[in-house]
């Protein structure tokens, strides 16, 4: 019976995430989890905890990542392999069960209402760095449905914001368990109050009053090319692109990932250059070929020159096949050629004083890999993608809202252009200023306003470390007390 309960709780937890956002459920799910673990201490051996939370993880990931099966149905020859997506679900469930078991055993001194958020946050963090990384699973996504809640992302970053939202969900459990409040108050001060006060002080001391606002006229083109549409030839695709360029008067024209329909083996691109008006710049995704290597590239073109950024974070089993020599049977899905990792810095200059940060597809979810000392002064982010592979429901919306929280976290506007949607202009607070409909051919103009904004990425790292330091301290305290 308990196994069924944990399976149902996992399924219900997925409803907190986009596109559902049934957030009131969190005030039922997490207090109930706290109650179950606190009231059945005699049954909470390592084996039972692993079993319960592996089942919880299976229910959650099966519902949350059900869209992962969709790429297998794009082409006829890969349909029979779609059940492979269940291997990912099972693997993630087992990893989550192991993480929860270890954290639960080590954190016995921590009140359950603080231990539960830490278990989930630890699971989120560890899964994001294992097996090529999969930071698609983050509770900070729950904040993306409300522009006021997005302030947490700017202040605390992805991981600590995840902790805070789960912690808030657990608060009703204080009244369910009727424990001594003194211990809970001590941990509240350590885990929450102290970091928040520290951030407010830092924010007060570092906030800039920069009144210099710059603008650039952009036009976003959502072409909605179908990857499996045999009637839409490369020549027809290029004609549509040239037609859009001819009709546009914007300063910056942006197309989606791999919208350029031919393999790019040089950077001349005369047909594009000749179509551009004076002082116009065009950004488009393309597959670039150089020195016998393929690259998924964002190409920046003006009448004088061409610059590019090659994708650095590649999708395993999508853009390359791990252990290719041993997994040759999967070449039907992945193809015979791997993409190579890019080597150039993640920054492109539009002019002497305006630069942007290029991000391709799901790179946008790797929040700790995007900003560095070379590009932190970039005025905005351009994220090109093709969500056609993700299906029509869960995947594209999750990807879109992950982009939305990144704008707030980095305190930078993001121009997101997806081949089939959702394309949008998102300001530095995570607010959507303009967007397209999903699975529609569309384009829109927008005057992008930006200024130099502080970001707190360095503080985000400190909060991440702080969480784990407090937890380690609690472990040693428990061991010393029971020595």
Q: Report the sign of the C-alpha dihedral through residues 9, 11, 17, 22, in that order.
A: negative
Return the higher-pLDDT residue of 74 and 4: 4
Average pLDDT on 211-218 reads 84
Average pLDDT on 427-450 reads 93
Cis upstream peptide for 27 (omega within 30°): no
Q: What is the mean pLDDT of the chain?
A: 86
Average pLDDT on 305-319 reads 90
Average pLDDT on 434-456 reads 89
Bridge partners of residue 13, in order along the sequence: none
Question: How crowded is the C-beta side of 265, counted as CA atoms within 13 Å?
Answer: 5
Which tokens in the block code for residue 380?
A: 């905005």
List, for residues 322-370, the tens digit of each pLDDT value.
767 666 666 666 777 889 999 999 999 997 788 999 999 999 999 999 9
Return the higher-pLDDT residue of 265 and 56: 56
Q: What does the alpha-carbon distance between residue 12 and residue 9 come to, in Å, rounded to a whole number? A: 5
Q: At 454, is the pLDDT very low, low, confident or very high (cuts 50, 70, 90)?
A: confident
List, for residues 150-175, the tens digit of each pLDDT value.
888 888 889 989 998 998 898 888 77
Pair type for strands 348-349 and 355-360: antiparallel
Return all residues near 83 (Cβ < 8 A) that are at least 6 apart. Answer: none
Q: At 186, is the pLDDT very low, low, confident or very high (cuts 50, 70, 90)?
A: low
Q: For residue 176, give the nearest of 32, 43, 41 by alpha carbon.
A: 32
Predicted local confidence at residue 307, as pLDDT: 93
Q: What does the alpha-carbon distance between residue 459 and residue 157 come to, in Å, rounded to a whole number? A: 8
Predicted local confidence at residue 202, as pLDDT: 55
Q: What does the alpha-carbon distance between residue 18 and residue 141 come to, in Å, rounded to a whole number? A: 8
Return the higher-pLDDT residue of 384 and 135: 384
Pair type for strands 306-310 and 380-385: unpaired
User: What are the sequence ranges of the domains in the chain?
Assistant: 2-206+460-481, 214-453
Q: Which of 75-84, 162-171, 368-377 has the lowest mean pLDDT?
A: 75-84
Return the higher-pLDDT residue of 235 and 480: 235
Pair type for strands 293-302 and 414-418: unpaired
CATH number of the domain at 214-453, out of 1.10.3720.10, 3.60.110.10, 3.40.50.2300, 3.40.50.720?
3.60.110.10
Q: What does the alpha-carbon distance between residue 172 and residue 151 come to, in Å, rounded to a whole number? A: 24
Predicted local confidence at residue 76, as pLDDT: 74
What percentage of the chain exceeds 90 in pLDDT? 52
Which tokens in the block code for residue 138?
A: 């983050």
Bridge partners of residue 348, in order along the sequence: 356
What percentage of the chain exceeds 70 in pLDDT? 86
Which tokens in the block code for residue 69?
A: 């099966």
Residue reference for tokens 């959502």: 222
| pTM of model > 0.85 | yes
Q: At 27, is the pLDDT very low, low, confident or very high (cuts 50, 70, 90)?
A: very high
Q: Report the sign of the C-alpha dihedral through residues 282, 283, 287, 293, in that order.
A: positive
- Buried/exposed 183-216: b ≥16 CB within 10 Å, e otherwise: ebeebbebbbeebeeebeebeeeeeeeeeeeeeb
Q: What does the alpha-carbon distance between residue 246 and residue 238 come to, in Å, rounded to a whole number? A: 12
Q: How many residues does the chain have?
A: 483
Return the higher-pLDDT residue of 257 and 230: 257
Predicted local confidence at residue 356, as pLDDT: 95
Average pLDDT on 382-401 reads 92
């Amino acid at each position: 019976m308990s196994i069924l309960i944990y399976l149902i709780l996992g399924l219900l937890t997925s409803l907190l995430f986009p596109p559902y956002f049934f957030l009131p459920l969190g005030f039922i799910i997490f207090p109930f989890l706290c109650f179950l673990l606190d009231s059945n201490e005699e049954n909470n051996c390592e084996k039972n905890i692993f079993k319960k939370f592996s089942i919880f993880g299976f229910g959650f990931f099966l519902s949350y990542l059900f869209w992962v099966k969709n790429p297998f149905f794009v082409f006829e020859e890969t349909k029979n392999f779609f059940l492979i997506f269940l291997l990912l679900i099972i693997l993630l469930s087992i990893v989550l069960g192991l993480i929860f078991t270890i954290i639960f055993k080590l954190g016995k001194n921590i009140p359950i209402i603080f231990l539960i958020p830490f278990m989930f946050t630890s699971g989120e963090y560890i899964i994001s760095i294992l097996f090529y990384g999969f930071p698609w699973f983050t509770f900070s996504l729950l904040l993306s449905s409300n522009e006021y809640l997005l302030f947490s992302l700017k202040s605390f970053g992805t991981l600590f914001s995840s902790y805070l939202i789960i912690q808030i969900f657990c608060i009703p459990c204080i009244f369910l368990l009727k424990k001594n409040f003194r211990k809970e108050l001590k941990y509240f001060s350590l885990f929450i109050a102290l970091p928040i006060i520290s951030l407010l002080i830092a924010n007060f001391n570092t906030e800039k009053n920069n009144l210099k606002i710059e603008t650039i006229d952009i036009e976003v083109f959502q072409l909605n090319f179908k990857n499996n549409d045999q009637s839409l030839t490369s020549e027809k695709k290029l004609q549509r692109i040239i037609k859009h360029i001819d009709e546009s008067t914007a300063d910056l024209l942006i197309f989606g990932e791999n919208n350029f329909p031919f393999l790019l083996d040089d950077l001349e691109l005369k047909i594009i250059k000749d179509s551009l008006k004076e002082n116009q710049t065009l950004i488009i995704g393309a597959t670039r070929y150089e020195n016998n290597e393929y690259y998924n590239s964002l190409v920046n073109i003006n009448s004088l020159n061409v610059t590019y950024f090659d994708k650095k974070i590649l999708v395993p089993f999508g853009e390359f096949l791990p252990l290719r020599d041993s997994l040759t049977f999967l070449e039907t899905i992945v193809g015979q050629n791997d993409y190579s990792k890019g080597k150039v810095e993640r920054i492109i200059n539009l002019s002497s004083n305006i630069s942007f940060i290029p991000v391709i597809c799901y790179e946008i979810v790797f929040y700790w890999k995007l900003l560095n000392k070379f590009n932190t002064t970039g005025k905005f982010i351009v994220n090109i993608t093709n969500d056609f592979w993700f299906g029509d429901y869960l995947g594209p919306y999750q990807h879109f809202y992950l982009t939305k929280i990144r704008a707030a976290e980095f305190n930078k506007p993001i121009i997101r252009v997806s081949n089939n949607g959702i394309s949008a202009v998102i300001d530095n607070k995570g607010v959507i200023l303009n967007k397209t409909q999903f699975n529609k051919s569309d384009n829109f103009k927008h005057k992008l306003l930006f200024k130099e904004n502080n970001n707190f990425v360095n503080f985000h790292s400190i909060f991440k470390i702080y969480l784990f330091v407090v937890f380690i301290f609690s472990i040693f305290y428990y061991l010393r007390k029971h020595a």
